[in-house]
Amino acid sequence: MKKRTGVFVCHCGINIAGTVDVKKVADKLGKHKAVAHSEDYVYMCSDPGQNLITNAIKEHKLDSIVVSCCSPTLHEKTFQNAAKAGGINEFQSEIANIREQCSWVHKDKEKATIKAEKITRSAVERVNKNESLEPISFPVTRRAMVIGAGIAGIQAALDMANTGYEVVLVEKNPSIGGHMIQLSETFPTLDCSQCILSPKMVEVSKHENIKLLTYSEVQEISGYVGNFNVKIKKNPTFVDPDKCTLCDECTKVCPVLTSDEFDLGLTGRRAIYMPFPQAIPATYTLDDKHCPGLLPIACGKCADVCDPGAIDYDMKPEIIEEEVGAIVIATGFDLYEKEEMGEYGSGKYPDVLDGLQFERLCSASGPTQGEVLRPSDHKVPKEVVFIQCSGSRDPEQHCAYCSKICCMYTAKHAMLYKHHVPDGQAYIFYIDIRSGGKGYEEFVQRAVEEDGVVYLRGKVSKIFEYNGKIRVWGVDTLAGKDIEIDADMVVLAQAMRPSKDADKLAKLLKISIDKDGFLQEAHPKLRPVESVTAGMFLAGAAQAPKDIPEAVAQASGAAAKALAILSQENLFHSPQVAKSIPNLCTGCGMCVDVCPYDALSLKNGKVEVNEVLCEGCGTCSATCLRAAIEVKNITPYQIYEMINASLGG
Amino acid sequence: MVNLDDLKKEALNLLKDEKVKYIIGYTEGSNGTSAAPAFIKNPEDTDKLVWNPGCFHNLTRFLRDEKKRKAREKHPDERPVGIVVKGCDSRAINVLLQEKYIKRDDVFILGVSCESTGVIDEKKVAKKLKGKKAQKIEWDTNRNLVVTTEDGTTKIPADEVLAERCVECPVHSPVVYDIFFGDKIKRTTDAQFKSVEKIENLSQKEKWDFWKKQFDKCIRCYACRSVCPMCYCDECVVDTISFAVTADTTAEEKAQRIKWIEKSPTPSETFIYHIIRAIHLAGRCIDCGECERVCPLDIPIRFLNKKLEKEAKSLFDYEVGFDPDQLSLVSSFKDEDPEDFIR
Amino acid sequence: MAEEFEPKIVAFLCKWCSSAGSDLAGVSRMQYPPNVVPITVMCSGSVSPLYILSAFNKGADGVLVSGCHPGDCHYIKGNYYARRRIALVKELMEYIGLEPDRFQMSWVSAAEGIKYTKIIKDFVNILKPLGPQTNLRRSQ
C-alpha cells in the first residue's frame, strides 16, 4: 500500500535556494518510489504557493504531502490547511525543515543539498506511515470547582461566577476567608484586611452562581478535563444554619474551653463556636473533637438553651457529588511552626510570636482589641525584635526557599507596632531586604525614615528568657559586631509552607508537588497557573509563597484559564496520542508509571490509553520493553525509517 | 541445615490438602551432579523431591508456561502453584510481582536457604572429577562439596566449585516465601561485582576484543532468552513477527513490526542483540546465571547483566527484586540522578 | 589523496527545546558542519535505546540525543527518564568496548543556539579522528 506523496520544495527567496540546490532536491525526491509529484517554488507559504499545493493534490491525486521549507513551528499549520483545502487529511502533511536546520547553518552548497535531500526523504518516509486522524472531541460540563476559599479561591470563584458559570467553592474550615481575614492591615497601603475582604466574602455567600460547601473536603475524584466527577465530604456542624438565629446563647453555657484557631491560640473558644464575627456562612459549628459527647446524656447544655432547636447531635457527614469541567486549586499556606525553631525557643516562650499571631495582636478585632500587649503579662512591650527569614533560606535546617512576603510584612509589623506604641523601639534582623513590587521599596524606606525602625543586617543565633525579658543574641554584619538585645517581645517571620494536607489533596487530584510541597505548575515560566493535569489550575500560595496582589492576579489568571474550557461546548484534543498494541502488552505497568499525565491505566492486564489526557510525549513507548505502545504518527517504525533516510540508506 | 524431609512433608501436605495445583521442585537428575526440575502433582511423588548442590535451575521460569497454560483454559484451576526457590529465584518472583506478571496468590513459595554455600558450577565439578561420574553430591557443614563416585567419596572446598554467581551473591536466602527451609544466614560478600570489575579494568580495545571473541561464537540460538524468567514477552523486539501472531493479529499490526536487527548471526547484529537484551534486563535481572549456564558456546552473558546491576546500584541506588512494590528502574528517576555525562 | 572522513551524525532532538534551539542557531545564522541530520521527536524521553542502536546499525558514526534541561521538560519529566535510560546505554556501550565518544547526550534549551552549534562542531571534531564506525554497522 504505497502512498502518493507530493514533495514541495520552497526556495524561501534565496534563504533556502541560496545554499541548497532546490531543483536538485525536488528532482531527487521525485524519483522516490512513494513520491508521485515533486516541484519547487519560490515562496510556498505565499497564497500562490499554497494554491500550487492544493491544486497539485487534486491534479496528481496525492494522498500526502511533504513541504521542505522552514521550521514547522512557523508554517506547519499553514500547510496542514493547504492539505485540507486539497481534500486530504491534515495529518497527511509533514514539514522537512531545510532552512533553520540546513540552509541557514551551512555554506557548502553541495553538502547542504545532500543534507536537505536526507531531511526531506526522512519526512517522506514519515508521512508514508502517517495515519489520517481527526481531532478528538468531547463535551464539557460547564461548571467549575474551586478548592480553598482564601483570597485566591474567593477571587477565582467570583471571577467565574460573574461570567455566568456555576462554581462549587469547597472550603475545609467552617468559614471562608483563609489567612487574609486574620490579618490586621495589609502592605503597602495599610488598609484594613477585613474591610477589603469581607465584602467579597459576603458576595460569595449571596452569589446565585456559587454553591458554597464549607467544613468540606474533597474525597475522591475521577474523570478528566471538561468532565470531572468530584466526591466531597461535608462534615457535620451539628447546627442547622437555617434555624440558628445567632443569639449566642449556646457559647455561654458550653463548659468546654479550647484554644482558638482564628486567634492562633492567643485566646480560647468554646466547643460550639463561630470562628469570628464576620464568618461566612454566619453560623455556629459544634466541634465534635472537643465536645464532651454528642450524646445529650454527656452534656447537651447547648441544645437545652437553643430556642429555635437548631442543634442536632445526630447530624451525619454528607457525601456530595459534583460534576465539573475545570478545577481551581487554591489551598493556600500555613506558617512553618514555631515549634520547629529550636534556636528560637521551639515555641515555648509566650512572648515569642509568629507573624500571624502578631497580626491578631494588632487587629482591632483581635484578642486585645488592637492594643499591642505581651501575652505573658499584658504589659506594653517597649522593645520588640523582629526576626526575618525565620525558617526561610535555611537549606540545612529548615526551608531552602525565600518566603517572599516576610520582608514586607515585617516592615509593616514594625510600623504598626510603632503606631500603637510610639515610644517603643523596633529592631529588625534581616539577611536581605527583598522589596520588589509596586510601592514596596518606598514602604520599607518609610518604616526606616518615618518610624525609626532599626534594621540590623544579620542573623539571630539564639533567643532565651532572661530576667523576664527575651534576650536576643544576634550579629550586625555591617557593623561587624555582636548584638545583644533584651526585648519585651520577639516576632518571628516564619516561613510560608504549603497548607497542611495539601500533599494528600495533590495525590488525590493526581497533580504533582515540588520538592518543598508546593503544587507544581505545568511550566515554571510559560504555564504558571496550570497544573500538569489538563483542566486543573493553581492559584495563590498553594503554588508558591506570594502576597495578596499576586495571589489575586494568579486567581484571576486561573479563572480565565478555567473559563476558556467552560466557554466551549466541546473540547478538542490533538489526536496524536499513544496507542497500545494489546497483543504485545503484558500489563507490566511501566508505561503507566512514567506517564506524566495519568493517561494510561491497566485494564484486564493490558494498558489502556485515555486519549483525552494523553499529550503524546512518547515516554511510554521508549519505556515499554515490548514495543506495545507507541504514539500515532511518530511510531518506532516511522523513526526507524527516518533513521535510515537520515543516513542516506 | 535444610532438612529435606521437612520440605517433602510440607509438599505432601500441600498436595494432600489440595492447597496447590502442583509443585515445581527439583528431583534427581540423570548424571549425578545436576538436579532436574520436577512437576509434582501426586502426593506420593513428593518423596522424589531433592535439595542438593545441583539444584541450580531457576524454576520461576516455568511460571511463564503456567501462566500461558492457564490463559488457554476455559475454567482454570485458580489454586496457586507450589514452587521451590532459592534466594536468587525468590527475587525473580519479586520482579514478576513488580511487573504484575504474576499475583502473589498465584504461587505458594517454598523458600530454601543456600546458607553458607549455594549451587555448583557443573563444569567446575566435572573438571575436578576428571571424567569420573558423580553418583551423589552434597555440602558438608564445613563448606565442602562431598562427591560420591564409584571410587568412594572426595571432598572439594566450596569455593572451588561454587557457581560464580553464588560467590558474588548478596542474599543467599529467599526474600519472599510462604514456608522457609534451612537457616537464615546473613552472609555478606565484598565481591559482588568482581567479574564486572575484571572487565572494567581492561582498556577499551581489550574490552572490544574480549566481547568480539565472545559474541563471534554466538549462534543466536536464543537459549539465553528461553531460559530467562524475565524474558516472558510474547514476542521479542528483536524478532520480526513470530510466535505472538494470534488470530486477532491484524494485517496492520503485522505490518507495523520492525526488523530492528537481522536474524543472521553477523557480528553487528549479534552485538546489538546482546546489548538490547542487557538493556531490557536492566533493573530486572536478578543474576540467577541461567543464561550463561545454558549457553552452548559458553559466552559469559552474565557479565553484561551484572554490569547494569552494578550501575543501577551505584548510579541510582537501585536494587532488584527485594521490593515488589518499588517502581522499576527505568520507570522511575530521582532529581539527583547523575548527569555528568550530559553536555 | 583520499577525501577527509566526514562522520555521519544522527541527532534526536526533542521538539520543544533542542529542536527549537537548533532553529535558533539557524535564525542566528550560526555555522556548523553539515554532518548532522536531525530527527525531531516529541521528547527526549521517547528516545528508545533501540533508536540509538538502530542508528549505529544503519551506519551512523555518531548519535546525539538532546532534550530540555532538567526541570524544563515540556512534558514535565520525560528528560529525567531519558537521562536514566541513556546513562545505562552509555555505560553498557563503554563496557563492551565501543567508543564511548560516539554517543552523546546534551541538554539544549530553545535559547541555546550557540550551545547547539558548539555541540555539533565539537562532536564532528571528536568523530573525525575515530574514523568510520563499523562495530555495529550492518554489513551490506
Is the minimum CB–CB distance between C83 and chain B shorter than 8 Å? yes
Integer Cα distance of A88 and A61 in angstroms: 10
% chain A with pLDDT above 90: 85
Same fold, A5-135 and A577-631: no
Integer Cα distance of A426 and A464 in angstroms: 18
Contacts of C81 in chain B (CB under 8 A): 330-331, 333
Q: Say if residues A112 and A19 touch (Cβ distance below 8 Å).
A: yes
> A143-235+318-332+499-566 has which fold?
FAD/NAD(P)-binding domain (3.50.50)
**What is the tens place of the pLDDT at every residue in A325-342?**
999 999 999 999 999 998
Domain A577-631 has CATH 3.30.70.1520: no
In the three-class reduction of DSSP (H, G, I as helix; E, B as strand; rest coil), residue A300 is classed as coil
Cell of A483: 548584638
Q: Say if residues A538 and A521 touch (Cβ distance below 8 Å).
A: yes
Q: Is the pLDDT of residue B304 over 70?
A: yes
Contacts of B196 in chain C (CB under 8 A): 95
Q: How far is B339 from chain C (nearest CA, A)?
A: 7
Find the DSSP H helices in chain B: 4-16, 62-72, 87-98, 122-129, 158-161, 164-167, 194-200, 204-217, 223-227, 251-255, 267-281, 290-294, 302-316
Taking the CB of residue A158, how many other CB atoms lie within 10 A of it? 22
Return the H-helix or E-strand segment holding C23. Answer: helix C18-27
- Chain A interface, Cβ < 8 Å to B: 515, 581-584, 586-591, 593-594, 602, 605, 623, 625-627, 635-637, 640
Q: Is the pLDDT of residue C1 over 60?
A: no
* Number of Cβ pairs < 8 A linking chain A and chain B: 58
Q: Domain limits of chain A?
A: 5-135, 143-235+318-332+499-566, 249-305, 336-497, 577-631
Inter-chain contact B328–A593, Cβ cutoff 8 Å?
A: yes
Name the DSSP class of A488.
S
Is the minimum CB–CB distance between B241 and chain C shorter than 8 Å? no
Class for the domain spanning C9-130: alpha beta
Q: Is the pLDDT of residue B243 over 50?
A: no
Predicted local confidence at residue B244, as pLDDT: 54
Is the minimum CB–CB distance between C99 and chain A shorter than 8 Å? no
Q: How far is B328 from chain A (nearest CA, A)?
A: 7
- How many Cα atoms occupy the beta-carbon half-sphere of B173 within 13 Å? 16
Beta strands across the sheet bearing C9-14: C36-41, C9-14, C62-67, C103-107
Q: Taking the complete model, does pTM exceed 0.80, yes or no?
A: no
In the three-class reduction of DSSP (H, G, I as helix; E, B as strand; rest coil), residue B124 is classed as helix
Integer Cα distance of B96 and B321 in angstroms: 9
Is the minimum CB–CB distance between B297 and chain C shorter than 8 Å? no
| pLDDT interval class at A515 (50, 70, 90) | confident
CA dihedral (A507, A509, A514, A516) in degrees, to 10, reads: -60
Predicted local confidence at residue B187, as pLDDT: 73
Inter-chain contact B100–A627, Cβ cutoff 8 Å?
A: no
Predicted local confidence at residue C47, as pLDDT: 97
CA A616 vs CA A168, A620, B94: distances in Å: 32, 9, 31
Beta strands across the sheet bearing A166-170: A210-213, A166-170, A143-147, A326-329, A536-538, A527-531, A521-523
CA C26 vs CA A97, A109, C30, C32, C117: distances in Å: 11, 16, 6, 10, 9
- Nearest by Cα to C47 from C38, C35, C58, C34: C38
% chain A with pLDDT above 70: 99
Mutant choice from C29, C36, C51, C75 vs A, greatest count of A C-beta within 10 A: C75
Q: Is the pLDDT of residue A430 over 90?
A: yes
Angle made by CA atoms B129, B133, B136, in degrees to the nearest 5? 95
Strands A227-234 and A216-224: antiparallel
Is the minimum CB–CB distance between C22 and chain A shorter than 8 Å? yes
| pLDDT interval class at B184 (50, 70, 90) | confident
Q: How confident is the prediction for chain A on average, in pLDDT?
A: 93
Question: What is the mean predicted confidence (pLDDT) over A360-364?
Answer: 92
Contacts of B95 in chain A (CB under 8 A): none
**What is the tens place of the pLDDT at every residue in B3-52?**
999 999 999 999 999 999 999 999 999 888 899 999 999 999 999 999 99
Residue whose grid cell is 580495545: B205
Is the minimum CB–CB distance between C79 and chain B shorter than 8 Å? no
Is the minimum CB–CB distance between A647 and chain C shorter than 8 Å? yes
Which burial class, exposed, middle or buried, applies to B270 when counting CB atoms under 10 A from its CB (0-12, 13-18, 19+)?
buried
List C residues 41-70 in contact with B (Cβ-Cβ < 8 A): 49-50, 53-54, 56-57, 70
What residues contact A88, with CB distance under 8 A and at least 6 apart?
A: A57, A62, A63, A64, A65, A132
DSSP string covering A311-366? B-TT---EEEEEEESEEEE---EEEPPGGG-GGGGGG--TTEEEHHHHHHHHSTTS
Strands A600-603 and A383-390: unpaired
What residues contact A249, with CB distance under 8 A and at least 6 apart?
A: A305, A306, A307
Q: Say if residues A423 and A451 touch (Cβ distance below 8 Å).
A: no
Integer Cα distance of A171 and A146 in angstroms: 9
Cell of A168: 462549587
DSSP string covering C86-112? HHHHHHHHHHHT--GGGEEEEE--TT-
Integer Cα distance of B27 and B52 in angstroms: 9
Q: Domain limits of chain C?
A: 9-130
Length of chain B: 343
Is the minimum CB–CB distance between C31 and chain A shorter than 8 Å? yes
**What is the tens place of the pLDDT at every residue in A469-480?**
999 999 999 999
Integer Cα distance of B46 and B10 in angstroms: 9
Q: What CATH number was assigned to the domain covering residues A5-135?
A: 3.40.50
Q: How far is C79 from chain A (nearest CA, A)?
A: 9
Class for the domain spanning A336-497: alpha beta
